[in-house]
């Protein structure tokens, strides 16, 4: 790891350490195991004849700063659900993306569509937390995880009824994810070291992902045409944040995106 990703991961580990002082790992684990799993709803929601959209709720990002000053996240989430989003991604990272567990929990209570906890998941503690928040899926950023770490986190997630979106950057990471039994593989068109975007990255790696897996193109969609290009390149789903967050009519924008075959 290097650049901003390394910085965020270091901050994340400190955040988890602070949380554990209040609620120890064993207690979070006990509560998570006692909670009923939601089943594997996330992957099923991303299958279908048309392009599926994972609509992201986020107030800010390191590259763009604050995206929405008002940030009525419940209204945003309802727009997403009613506009036809297959799933909702919600940031819980507080320092760089201004997200929180509360935002996630409030949205979970308002919508029934599957939800992805978007954070820098580095520890088992966070996986148990995700189950308690009501997440259906967690994000595993392969660039930030050693092979044994990714496998352990995935196994823990599956034991709790959660799925994992494996975010990959290269061939080796894709092969590693598939060897672990990943069902959902994403390619981030954004470089997490410097946050530059290469909109063609996902297309170049599509052929390396087994057709039986769900392929997600992450970042870089700023128009309907961009989404159509990702679909033409073989994406089953796109994860879209800023474009939807800045849209004047999120429901209509989503309807346009989800009409893409």
* pLDDT score for 195: 77
Pairing verdict, β 65-66 and 60-61: antiparallel
Helix (H, G, I), strand (E, B) or coil at 124: helix
Q: Record the tokens describing residue 37, joined without a space.
A: 């799993």
Beta-bridged to residue 79, according to DSSP, are none
Helix (H, G, I), strand (E, B) or coil at 9: helix
* pLDDT score for 41: 87
* pLDDT score for 190: 85
* pLDDT score for 192: 76
Q: Could you read off the pLDDT of 116-133 as tens digits, one per residue? A: 999 999 999 999 999 999
User: What pTM, to 2 d.p., does this model score?
Assistant: 0.95
Strands (E) located in 92-201: 115-118, 137-141, 163-168, 184-188
CA nearest neighbour of 250 among 77, 111, 115: 77
d(CA 5, CA 169): 13
CATH architecture of 3-258: Alpha-Beta Barrel (3.20)
- What pLDDT tens digit does each residue of the chain (261 aa) get? 678 899 999 999 999 999 999 999 999 999 999 886 666 789 999 999 999 999 999 999 988 899 999 999 999 999 999 999 999 999 999 999 999 999 999 999 999 999 999 999 999 999 999 999 999 999 999 999 999 999 999 999 999 999 999 999 999 999 999 999 999 999 999 887 777 888 899 999 999 999 999 999 999 999 999 999 999 999 999 999 999 999 999 999 999 999 999
* Residues ≥6 apart with Cβ < 8 Å to 234: 203, 206, 207, 215
d(CA 256, CA 162): 29
d(CA 257, CA 3): 33
Alpha-carbon distances of 253 from 68, 135, 243, rounded to whole Å: 17, 25, 9
* pLDDT score for 115: 97
Strands (E) located in 62-131: 65-66, 87-91, 115-118
Q: Could you read off the pLDDT of 188-222 as tens digits, one per residue? A: 998 877 778 888 999 999 999 999 999 999 999 99
Beta-bridged to residue 190, according to DSSP, are 197
* pLDDT score for 155: 97
Beta-bridged to residue 118, according to DSSP, are 91
């Amino acid at each position: 790891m290097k650049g901003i990703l390394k910085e965020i991961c270091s901050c994340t580990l400190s955040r988890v350490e602070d949380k554990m002082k209040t609620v120890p790992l064993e207690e979070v684990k006990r509560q998570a195991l006692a909670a009923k799993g939601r089943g594997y709803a996330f992957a099923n929601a991303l299958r279908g004849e048309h392009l599926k959209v994972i609509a992201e709720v986020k107030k800010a990002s390191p590259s763009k700063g604050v995206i929405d000053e008002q940030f009525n996240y419940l209204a945003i989430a309802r727009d997403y659900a009613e506009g036809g989003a297959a799933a909702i991604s919600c940031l819980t990272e507080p320092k760089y993306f201004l997200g929180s567990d509360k935002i996630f929990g409030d949205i979970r209570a308002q919508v029934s569509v599957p939800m992805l906890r978007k954070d820098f998941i580095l520890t088992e503690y966070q996986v148990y937390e995700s189950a308690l928040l009501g997440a259906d899926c967690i994000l595993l950023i392969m660039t930030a995880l050693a092979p044994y770490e990714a496998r352990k986190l995935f196994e823990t997630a599956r034991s709790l009824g959660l799925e994992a979106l494996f975010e990959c950057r290269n061939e080796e990471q894709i092969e590693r994810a598939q060897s672990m039994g990943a069902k959902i593989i994403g390619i981030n068109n954004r470089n997490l070291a410097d946050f530059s975007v290469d909109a063609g990255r996902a297309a170049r790696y599509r052929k390396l992902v087994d057709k039986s897996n769900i392929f997600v193109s992450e970042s870089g969609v700023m128009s309907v045409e961009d989404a159509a290009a990702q679909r033409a390149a073989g994406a089953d789903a796109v994860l879209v944040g800023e474009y939807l967050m800045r849209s004047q009519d999120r429901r209509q924008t989503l309807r346009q995106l989800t009409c893409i075959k």
